[in-house]
Structure 1
Amino acid sequence: MFRLIWTLSVRTRDYLHRYMPSNRLLAGIRTRRGLKWGIPAMLVALPYILIASICFGSAADGGPGWLHLIVLWACWNALKFIIMGPLSVALLIRARLREATVRRHQRHDSRVEASLREPALRV
Structure 2
Amino acid sequence: MIRLLWTTSIEVRYFLRRYMPSNIVLDLLRTRQGLKWGIPAMLLAVPYVAVAHWCTTLIGDGGPGWLHLVVLVCIWNALKMTLFGPMSLVMLVKVRARERRARRQRESGGAAALPEFARSEH
Q: Contact 2:105–2:111 at 8 Å: present in 1 too?
A: no
Q: TM-score, normalised by structure 2?
A: 0.83
Matches within 5 A, 1:1-123: 1-109=1-109
Cα displacement (A) at 1:13:
1.2
- What is the rounded CA distance, in whole Å, between the counterparts of 2:111 and 2:14 in structure 1? 48
Number of residue pairs matched?
112
Q: TM-score, normalised by structure 1?
A: 0.82
Cα displacement (A) at 1:8:
2.6
- Unaligned ranges ≥5, structure 2: 113-122
Cα displacement (A) at 1:20:
1.1
Cα displacement (A) at 1:60:
1.6
Larger Rg: 1
CA RMSD of aligned residues (A): 1.8
SS at match of 1:62: coil
* Residue aligning to 1:115: none
Q: Contact 2:56–2:68 at 8 Å: present in 1 too?
A: yes
Larger deviation: 2-11 or 23-32? 2-11
- Unaligned ranges ≥5, structure 1: 113-123
Q: Percent identity?
A: 52
1:80-115 superposed Cα distances (whole Å, 9 cap, x missing partner) = 100111111110000000000101111111789xxx
SS at match of 1:31: coil
